[in-house]
Amino acid sequence: MNEISRLSKPVAPAPEPVTKPGVPLEVAIALLRVAEFGLVILSGMFIASILGEPNSEMTAQGYTRVVLLAGIVFATLAESMGCYDVDAQFSLRMVWRRLAGSWVMTALFMLTLGFLLKTSDNVSRGWALSWFVVGGTSLLVSRALSTIWVRRLKNRGTFNQRVAIFGAGPQGQRFADYVIRNSRLTITLVGFFDDRVGDRIDRASLPAPLHGNLTALVSAIREGRIDQVVVALPWSADVRLQQVVSRLALTPVRIRLAPDLASFAFAKRQMVLLGDVPVMTLFERPISGMDAVLKRIEDLVLSFLVLALVWPVLLVIAVAVKLDSRGPIFFRQPREGFNNRHFRVWKFRSMHHDLSQVDRIDQASRGDRRVTRVGRFLRRTSLDELPQLFNVVRGEMSLVGPRPHAPSTRAGGRLFSDVVTSYAARHKVKPGITGWAQVCGWRGETDTEDKLVKRLEHDLHYIENWSLGFDIYILLRTIGAVVISREAF
């Protein structure tokens, strides 16, 4: 008996209907688009009828044109900013943020257009401001009501599609568990279908009922009981997979392929097309493209500005270091930077020259005899780090980022890279003069493994959540952290 006939042999009857066919969520979203476009138009015309200045150059027809243009601009921006994405229909916080952004950008666009066309003087200022407030408030209130309405309909299963899973193995069970746990999915899980029935499958361990084999599944589809089928077979079983899909392709339902078992470990990663082939993006290069350009501009502009302001301080420190103890003014030490590349970091010398370490580094501790009198003050105030501005200008460092450590530095007697296997992840970006870990109190000696783990957690949080605003916030907090800190010796 060939494979196709084996797959086609009926084993169990088709399932009874689980629910009525759902109403597509897209219908509700389409109504929402029309309603919000209408709100923009109606609020603008209503305010114009009350506050429009009859003696101004702007006629009622002119106000109508302005309102219609703004409505079109808002509809375009709201669509592009994801106000009508499926995930935004159930999260009021998310959709309010997107909706408010779209409305503000619409107002800015209209102001800019009026300025460029020299027509802004014809429009009543009171009307424009009132429309902005009333229109924005109407959009937020109406979306709050619609979100409550959509949530209620979803809880009743109104938008749910009836989904069957073909394949009751570990892959199908894991997919079913994901569907059951995810409350935002508009899915009613009909159950499992599998050609391996009987004693080969433990029905009691399945998270949903097992209804039958492939023939039973096709029968249920023909009777209008299923809207979508998810094939959950191992991707390595390509022959069996093609046989099942070719049979289901003759039915009028959506057919999808569940992730292979390995893909569940990266369930939140983005799928993109590489040509015509879908691939999963496991990790993006952080702070790349235009973000990297903006951060480099930030580093250069602020570094030159700081150098222009503090050069007298640098001169005074240099003289103090030279007079306090014998040796050079600056101390250059090898550190690990971006992409694990080594570079030499610049610092004011804070230790006696004959006691300074370059290769095997022991971090300074409280009362360290190697530290000079001037060096103790410089380290406590972090003024010894100021020459690293030159590292920033050279492109070896950034103003904000994970602090660079010497390759031989240890925590609890073990190398940093031996304590935490993901330690090298902090080298995805350039090291910084200051960083998120430092302003949160994790600076100074890293004498325990727990301290190193905390530093790494903060560094990775910075890398994953970088923004120019975050950088400025860290720079401002650095001043306070330096003033009150007692962790640097």
Residue ranges covered by each domain of the chain: 3-22+160-268, 25-155, 290-484
Q: Is residue 16 pLDDT above 60, yes or no?
A: no
Number of DSSP helices (H) and strands (E) in the chain, helices first: 15, 13
Entry pTM: 0.51
d(CA 89, CA 143): 9
Is 296 within 8 Å of 397 (Cβ atoms)?
Answer: no
d(CA 346, CA 404): 11
Q: Give the least confident one: 121-125, 196-200, 286-290.
A: 196-200
Per-residue confidence (pLDDT) for residue 138, from 0 to 100: 92
d(CA 183, CA 198): 32
Quick one: CA dihedral 452, 458, 464, 467, positive or negative?
negative
Q: pLDDT averaged over the chain?
A: 79
121 vs 7 pLDDT, higher one: 121
Q: Is residue 436 pLDDT above 70, yes or no?
A: yes
Dig out the tokens for 447 from the structure.
Answer: 């004498």
- Hey, which CATH number is domain 3-22+160-268, 3.40.50.720, 3.40.50.880, 3.40.640.10, 3.30.497.10? 3.40.50.720
Within 10 Å of residue 468's Cβ, how many Cβ atoms?
13
Q: Give the least confident one: 32-41, 365-374, 411-420.
A: 411-420
329-379 pLDDT, tens digit per residue, is 888 888 888 887 889 999 888 888 766 655 555 555 555 677 888 888 888
Residues 6 or more apart whose CB falls under 8 angstroms from that of 147 comprise 89, 90, 91, 92, 95
Task: Give the rounded distance of the alpha carbon of 319 from its chain centre.
Answer: 48
Q: Is residue 423 pLDDT above 90, yes or no?
A: no
- DSSP letter string, 38-103: HHHHHHHHHHHHHH--TTSS--HHHHHHHHHHHHHHHHHHHHHTTTTSGGGGS-HHHHHHHHHHHH
- Scored b (16 or more CB within 10 A) or e, 295-326 reads beebbeebbeebeeeeeeebeebeebbeebbe
Partners of 229 in the β-ladder: 164, 255
Is 44 within 8 Å of 66 (Cβ atoms)?
Answer: yes
For residues 309-318, give the mean pLDDT: 91
Residues 6 or more apart whose CB falls under 8 angstroms from that of 381 comprise 482
Per-residue confidence (pLDDT) for residue 53, from 0 to 100: 52
Amino acid at the residue 111: L
For residues 119-130, give the mean pLDDT: 79
Q: Is residue 400 pLDDT above 90, yes or no?
A: yes
Q: Give the least confident one: 226-230, 429-433, 478-482.
A: 478-482
User: Among the ranges 59-63, 284-288, 395-399, 449-453, which has the highest mean pLDDT value?
Assistant: 395-399
Q: Give the least confident one: 49-58, 166-175, 212-221.
A: 49-58
d(CA 122, CA 125): 9
DSSP secondary-structure letter at 325?
S
For residues 124-128, give the mean pLDDT: 81
Which CA distances in Å does 289 have to 224, 293, 295, 402, 482? 49, 7, 10, 20, 32
At which residue do the structure tokens 């979803």 appear?
Answer: 154
Angle at 234 between CA 230 and CA 240, to 5 degrees: 85
65-115 pLDDT, tens digit per residue, is 889 999 999 999 998 888 888 778 888 888 898 999 999 999 898 888 887
199-252 pLDDT, tens digit per residue, is 667 777 788 888 888 888 988 888 888 888 888 888 878 888 888 888 888 888
Task: Give the rounded distance of the alpha carbon of 175 from its chain centre.
Answer: 24
